[in-house]
Structures are given as structure tokens and as C-alpha cells.
Amino acid sequence: MANHTNHSSHAESHGSLKSYVIGFILSIVLTIIPLVLVMNPLFSKTGTIIAIMIMAVLQFVIQLFFFMHIREGEKPRWNVQTLILGLVIVLTIVAGSIWIMAFNV
Amino acid sequence: MQQVANNHEHGHAHDHEHGHEEHEQLKVLGFWIFLVTDCILFGSLFATYAVLMHSYAGGPTGKELFELPGVIASTFILLTSSFTSGLAILAMNKGKVKELIGWLVVTALLGLSFIGLEISEFTHLVHEGATISTSAFWSAFFTLVGTHGVHVSVGLFWMVAIMLQLRRRGLTPVTRRKVTTLSLYWHFLDVVWIFLFTVVYLMGVM
């Protein structure tokens, strides 16, 4: 269907219809599972929180690979490196804030 | 830099404008860096929300006021719009301007209904007595969700502007790059919403 063998086009992201459809279906599944888990809880509260957070992170990874085509960059993948640095900063801010404010109680 | 103002430049024309394309490629990287900084902005807002999650100050709680059906609807709407903006990219790679604009229109309409749902949710909350100044929890809530909503709204204006450019100039290296960054932005907003949906709404009603 979508022949993306057109070698020399750089400026746009690539990907095929198949990868978008797979990503879309996986995202829908990963949205429905947490919903079901919250509506009729199978696990304890902490268990559910951990499960739905894992689903959210999985869905983030799926969007990154199937929609944003993070694999298909040029030689040094500056975008991946920037993203990793950004995620380290975000994790530090979020985890650090929660941890330090836990002493407030 | 030369301007190639028609959509029939495939293959040969690419060699001549290689410098131009590399320049556009660099701009995509620059946009990616902006997205990462935007990620840090949302990270800070999420941290604030996580810290103030239970500071209701005697006011209404999220559990009492959140209405999941509307939120579930907006989640699927935004997810679908992320998918259709991907289809727009596919149409662009095939060089079909009309199909590209068509998918952008679908994406924009979905984004618009998302914003509509968000506005009606906010009005409902305010009527129930939860405003941005009710408690620390509601301040954090409205700031976090509202910032995402503002991003989507800005994205809508941007999308209309790019559709007009596509109509006027067709597919050039410049408009291709603009569509690429727009769709990256749109996917990014969907990613942020996934975490909003999980942390704010799903955990909120538990």
C-alpha cells in the first residue's frame, strides 16, 4: 500500500499504514484495560495504581514508536538523547516533589 | 535558499535542495527539543498535582465531581485524532495534498470536540462549586488540565494556518516540515493526556 521506499525524503517522518493501525489498536486496548481495572477492581488499591501506571507508560512507548517514529532518525539520534535527558528531569521533579513533601505530614 | 512552489517536485528536485532539506531537518530537531522542554513543564504541573492531590480544604473532592463518561469520550476522541494526524502524514508521504488536508480537517474537528467537552466539564465543575480558588487541589487540577487544553487550542489555530498554507503553496520542503512538526506536537498532546487521564481521572475516582 504505502510504499515508503522513496529513499531521499528526509524532512518528514516515515511509517506505514500498518504501523499506525497497530499503534492505534494497541492504544485503545491499553486505554480499556485500566478503565476496566478501575471500574471493577481486581487488585488492591496500590496494585491497581501500579497496573494503570504501567499501562500509561506502555501506551507512551507505543505512541513513541508507532506514531512518532523515534527509531527512524538520522545517525546520532539527538532527539532520543534529548528525550532521555528530559525524562530524567521530569522523573526527578515528580519523584523528588512527592518524596520531599511526604515529610510534610 | 530557493523556493519551490509546486507539488510536483519529486526525485530530481531533491538533490538541488539538499541543503534546504537538511536545514528543515534541523528545525524538526529543534521542535523536538521544544517538546522535551514542554514535557518538563507538564512534569512540574504533575508534581504539583501529586503533592496537592488530597488538599481539599473541606471543599468538594474529585471523586464527588468527576464524571467519567465525558472524560472517557474525550480520551478516545484525542486518541483517534492522534491516529488521523498520522494518516495525514501518510497522505503527505504519498504526495496527496487533498487527502492530507482532509485528514487535517478530521483531526481539527476531533480536537475541537475535545475542547468542547473540556469546556462543558469545566462549566459543570464551576456550577458544582469547584473553582480554581476553592482549594489547593482544584487549583492544581485546573492548572494542569487547563494547560493541556490551552495547548490543544493553540494546536487547532496552528492546524488551520497550515491547512491554508498547504492550499496556497502545496507541498514544499517547508510545508512538509511544518506538517511533520504539527503531527509530532499532536501526538505529544495525546501522550500528555494519557497521563492526565490515568493520574487525574482514573486515580481520582478510585
Rounded to a whole number, what is the distance in Å from the CA of B202 to chain A's nearest CA?
7
In B120-146, which positions are buried (b, 16+ CB within 10 angstroms) versus exposed (e)?
Answer: ebbeebeeeebeeebbbbbbbbbebbe
Check whether A1 has a pLDDT greater than 90. no
CB proximity B206 to A under 8 Å: yes
CB proximity B32 to A under 8 Å: yes
Closest residue of chain B to A27, computed from CA coordinates? B79
pLDDT at residue A29, as a whole number: 96
pLDDT at residue B18, as a whole number: 66
- Between residues B13 and A52, the one the model is more confident about: A52
d(CA B148, CA B56): 22
Closest residue of chain A to B76, computed from CA coordinates? A28
A101: Cβ contacts below 8 Å, ≥ 6 apart? B51
For residue A76, how far is the Cα from the chain centroid? 22
CA dihedral A80, A81, A83, A85 (to 10 degrees): 160
Eight-class DSSP state of A8: T
Inter-residue contact B137 to B55 (CB < 8 Å):
yes
pLDDT at residue B201, as a whole number: 95
Q: With an 8 Å Cβ cutoff, are A60 and B86 in contact? A: no
Check whether A8 has a pLDDT greater than 60. no
d(CA B174, CA B184): 15
Mutate to test the interface with A, among B68, B198, B199 (most CBs of A within 10 A): B198
Check whether A63 has a pLDDT greater than 80. yes
Specify the residue for cell string 522542554.
Answer: B37
CB proximity B26 to A under 8 Å: no
- Between residues B180 and A11, the one the model is more confident about: B180
Q: With an 8 Å Cβ cutoff, are A2 and B90 in contact? A: yes
Chain A residues within 8 A of B79 when measuring between CB atoms: 24, 27-28, 31
Question: Which residue stretches of B96-135 are H helix?
Answer: 97-127
- Between residues B65 and A71, the one the model is more confident about: B65
Q: Which three cell numbers stand for residue B102?
A: 482532509
Q: How far is CA A62 from CA A23, A68, B8, B53, in A?
A: 6, 9, 34, 28
pLDDT more than 70, % of chain A? 81
pLDDT at residue B10, as a whole number: 46
d(CA A13, CA A76): 16
Question: Which residue stretches of A1-105 are H helix?
Answer: 17-39, 45-62, 78-101
d(CA B142, CA B122): 8
Inter-residue contact A51 to A43 (CB < 8 Å):
yes
pLDDT at residue B4, as a whole number: 43
**Local confidence pLDDT in tens for the 206 residues of chain B:** 344 444 444 444 445 556 777 788 889 999 999 999 999 999 999 999 999 999 999 999 999 999 999 999 999 999 999 999 999 999 999 999 999 999 999 999 999 999 999 999 999 999 999 999 999 999 999 999 999 999 999 999 999 999 999 999 999 999 999 999 999 999 999 999 999 999 999 999 98
d(CA B141, CA B131): 10
pLDDT tier at A33 (50, 70, 90 boundaries)? very high
Q: CA B27, B30, B31 angle in degrees (round to 5)?
A: 90
Rounded to a whole number, what is the distance in Å from the CA of B123 to chain A's nearest CA?
25
- Give the ipTM of the model, two decimals please: 0.84
pLDDT tier at A70 (50, 70, 90 boundaries)? confident
B139: Cβ contacts below 8 Å, ≥ 6 apart? B52, B132, B133
Q: Which amino acid is at B146?
A: G
Specify the residue for cell string 497496573.
Answer: A51
Closest residue of chain B to A77, computed from CA coordinates? B29
Inter-residue contact B140 to B199 (CB < 8 Å):
no
Averaged pLDDT, A67-84:
82
pLDDT tier at A57 (50, 70, 90 boundaries)? very high
Phi first, then psi: give them for residue B52, nearest 5 degrees. Answer: -100, 10
d(CA A72, CA A66): 11
